[in-house]
Structure 1
Amino acid sequence: MAVSTTSPPDRSFRVVAPVIALCWLAVFFDGMDVNIYGATMPHLLADDSLGFTPALAGTIGSWTTFGMLIGALAAGTLTDWLGRKPLVIASVVLFSSGSALCALASGAAMFGTGRFLSGLGLGGLMPIGLAIVAEFAPPRRVALTTGLMMTSYHAGGMAATGIGLAVAPGHGWRWVFWAGVLPALIAVPLVLKWLPESPGVLFARGRTQRAYAVADRYRLERPGAQQAPQAGPKGRMAAITALFAPGTRWATPLLWIASFAGLLLVYGVSTWLPELMRATGYSLSSSVTFLMVINAGGIVGMLIAGRTADRFGPVKVSALWFLLTAVGTFLLRAQLPLGAAYVVVFITGVWLFSAQVMVYAATSRVYAPRERATGLGWVTGIGRTGAVVGPALGGAVLAGGDASLGFTTFAVTAVLGAVAVSLVPLFVHDRRGLGTHAAPALSPDAAPGGAERA
């Protein structure tokens, strides 16, 4: 059968809703597992059997994010070889197993091993989910669909905070981590039954008719050699070296820097916001509630950012959101009245988390389809160094007794992210001959009505 050379039929959210819903569920559990650590932090520090100190807790948080770094780099490179679906399942099983190990931990070393194992799965899931959304989403609604999927991360964070508040005081922190085993029981069977494999991956593995069937079912463009990733180890290496091709050579490190800044903020704040607010003068219950409030802001922010980015471009939105994050985190240095503090934390959440997600949306537009999963894997993976630094940095600041310095550091990091992502369009050049869904030029005229603007 000849490969279709025409544009794919228009597809709506209704057609791809089952795929987006499965990604939403998987990332929901990702967000829950990440935020469980911050939600239980006061109880972990109070448990003498673990021997936690703020500095040690920060180090263990960094072990988690170091595992995420490895997981993201591995998944971004292996997903075109092994397939999206098997790696989604493996990622969920890994972070569920890590949560179980934490629940059974008899000391800090065993607990840290569990968090590292969780990190491998958590890091691997995110770039795969983003690649699936970029491939299946309606072409002019990729940023909105990415933001919609990422609301699940913050819904999971809110769920973790709620479980921590409801369960940990009366039953202990271990039961909160047992809740982290649920993804393997709930998400894995659903993914096995309903998540389709990438048509491009199927085509690259020689399953041409199956690739066409999946593409036709979800109204995607039928894959050809230019849309499918190259097979074998040489193909994996070619996908990595393509990130530094003439059209994206300098954009790639800028995306890495923006992702570093964004993930330092996301994981630094998620891990240490309750303790930073306590050090500023708020009560324990109020401090933990701030984590739920900032995640609620994150959900609202994803929807606003996604819709806005589809109109004005993810680069512009990400840069502005980073700058607004800097303002919000700097304001938190002062001990505001409780009601005002909740408002500032909520509004900061609107900007903080979606600034990072719009870096991912921009990444999806920079790279061609055959390089997209690898590009997303490396942007999230290299960015995880920020996630490693964030929790350790927060622990070091708290150990020094200066909470205001922590908020100032987050504000400066947000400015760095804004500068890096705003420079990306200057170094991206249109790459012709890569097929209908090639990486578009990041210029204001890239598509009618600005739908593909950066």
Structure 2
Amino acid sequence: MTTPHTPPERSFRTVGAVMALCWLTVFFDGMDVNVYGAVMPHLLDDSSLGFTASTAGTVGSWTTFGMLIGALTAGTLTDWLGRRPVVIWSVSLFSVGSALCALAPSVTVFGAGRFLAGLGLGGLMPIALAVVTEFAPPRRAALSLGLMMTSYHAGGMVATGLGLALAPDFGWRAVFWAGVLPALIAVPLVLKWLPESPGVLLAKGRTSDAEAVAARYGLPSPTPAEAPEAGARGRFAAVASLFAPGSRIATPLLWVASFAGLLLVYGVSTWLPQLMRASGYSLSSSVAFLMIINAGGIVGMLVAGRAADRFGAVRISAIWFILTACGTFLLRAHLPLGVAYTVVFITGIWLFSAQVMVYSATSTVYAPAQRATGLGWVTGIGRTGAVVGPWLGGAVVEGGNAGLGFTTFAAAAVLGAAAICLVPLARRTRRGATAQQTSALAGATD
């Protein structure tokens, strides 16, 4: 029988290596997601594959459909297989998918590559979110998530830079070859340095290893209550627990908020350059808008994380969604180029971090043993919005109405705000919530 240890104080210094590895993997995630939008104008101008705005939107939806499957599968299986194996397989999948796109002789093969990449991209995000939430310093969970998600936008900026630097002279295929780098860089580092979750180790019967990881990173000693139940029965129980008293109404509300947020993230990431081009801006300026909105996203993650730790993730997410609606609706007008750059940058501050604060709120709704599953299903169901976003953007661009596209994105932001606002009310009106769930709600709304 082991004696619980007294862990050292957990801080960004003690868990820095874990945060850095998660940052790196999500950086490559953001690069792979945004590379499609970055080369979209070049794909549409290349007659060899036969891309049209409609087929490009459909291929974008294949990507996000793969992400949906990846998120649901990874979020449910990670407590059984472990965090590290799922991270490694996810990174490997989207690297292989990028290589397949670079070699694609047809739209069908290209779409298969994007679907395969989507499986890996969808699987990575909920696991990275769960790892950061578990290892984050006390009372710094939202800030930690925000810091990690800056990497997504840094990756998006690099993807845009690669599109601007490589595609005009070397073709869009060269940009996708850069997507093979994650398997060569991130996978060896994860194998060597990323620790496994103490709760997962405890569930596997590796008690001494669980205690060692907890001691090294300043985590509390894992308890059986924090260890996921093993086997197929445990996977079913983890999903069923999302609808236990205290969360059964909050769960679908989180799904709706995630749907709206990911519709915005992937719809805008895929179609912003083409929407701006349809609004009358030049090709180079239109692609640059994607880099600018991701730069705003980096600032937004830092601001939102600190604000959410102080005022609550639910409140900040709702405010951010409303501000996103205002910014996207304003883009209906053909603004002077400098003003348009400013509006896009400011909109990026709100747009991406509104969704991340949904994840932060999710982490407070579920107990530790259900957190990875809860995040997996919130991101997974939310991927239906990521499927709809690129397809909807393609339909709008095909009709030549850029203003309608921006109005649609604004409406999605209002839907997200309404859903996330109702989460605290739904939980307060449920009887039978545990004391732990009630305490977690206070952390999400205070």
TM-score, normalised by the number of residues in structure 2: 0.97
**Structure-to-structure mapping, 1:334-413, within 5 angstroms:** 334-413=333-412
| Inter-partner Cα distance in structure 1 for 2:308 and 2:75 | 24
Contact 1:369 1:439 in 2 (8 A): no
| Inter-partner Cα distance in structure 2 for 1:47 and 1:293 | 25
| Inter-partner Cα distance in structure 1 for 2:414 and 2:63 | 25
**Structure-to-structure mapping, 1:114-193, within 5 angstroms:** 114-193=113-192
**Structure-to-structure mapping, 1:200-279, within 5 angstroms:** 200-279=199-278
* CA drift at 1:439: 7.1
2:344 aligned partner, one-letter code: V
- Show CA shifts across 1:348-382 (max 9, x none): 00000000000000000000000000000000000
2:28 aligned partner, one-letter code: F
Match of 1:414 in 2: 413
Contact 2:319 2:417 in 1 (8 A): yes
Partner SS, residue 96 of structure 2: helix
Report the RMSD for the aligned CA atoms in angstroms: 1.3
| Inter-partner Cα distance in structure 1 for 2:107 and 2:20 | 36
Q: 1:131 to 1:106 in 2, by over 3 A?
A: same
Contact 1:158 1:292 in 2 (8 A): yes
1:118 aligned partner, one-letter code: A
| Inter-partner Cα distance in structure 2 for 1:331 and 1:10 | 46
Please list every run of 5 or more consecutive structure 1 residues that lacks an aligned counterpart in the other structure: 447-451
Q: 1:3 to 1:383 in 2, by over 3 A?
A: farther
* CA drift at 1:121: 0.1
* CA drift at 1:325: 0.1
| Inter-partner Cα distance in structure 2 for 1:139 and 1:422 | 25
| Inter-partner Cα distance in structure 1 for 2:95 and 2:33 | 11
2:278 aligned partner, one-letter code: A
Contact 1:3 1:223 in 2 (8 A): no
Most deviating of 6-15 and 242-251: 6-15
Match of 2:16 in 1: 17
Match of 2:88 in 1: 89
**Structure-to-structure mapping, 1:47-66, within 5 angstroms:** 47-66=46-65
| Inter-partner Cα distance in structure 2 for 1:181 and 1:129 | 20
* CA drift at 1:29: 0.2
Partner SS, residue 139 of structure 1: coil
* CA drift at 1:9: 4.5
| Inter-partner Cα distance in structure 2 for 1:269 and 1:39 | 11
| Inter-partner Cα distance in structure 2 for 1:362 and 1:52 | 39
1:194 aligned partner, one-letter code: W
- Show CA shifts across 1:136-167 (max 9, x none): 00120000000000000000000000000000
| Inter-partner Cα distance in structure 1 for 2:13 and 2:92 | 29
Please list every run of 5 or more consecutive structure 2 residues that lacks an aligned counterpart in the other structure: none
| Inter-partner Cα distance in structure 1 for 2:10 and 2:433 | 25
1:32 aligned partner, one-letter code: M
| Inter-partner Cα distance in structure 2 for 1:410 and 1:8 | 46
1:412 aligned partner, one-letter code: A
| Inter-partner Cα distance in structure 1 for 2:228 and 2:349 | 36
Contact 1:8 1:220 in 2 (8 A): yes
Quick check: 1:296 aligned with 2:295?
yes
Contact 1:428 1:441 in 2 (8 A): no
- Show CA shifts across 1:57-109 (max 9, x none): 00000000000000000000000000000000000000000000000000100
2:117 aligned partner, one-letter code: S
| Inter-partner Cα distance in structure 2 for 1:11 and 1:295 | 31
Contact 1:311 1:453 in 2 (8 A): no
| Inter-partner Cα distance in structure 1 for 2:222 and 2:435 | 14
| Inter-partner Cα distance in structure 1 for 2:6 and 2:316 | 28
* CA drift at 1:7: 7.9
Structure 1 segments (4+ residues) deviating >4 Å: 6-9
Contact 1:16 1:218 in 2 (8 A): yes
Match of 1:449 in 2: none
* CA drift at 1:182: 0.2
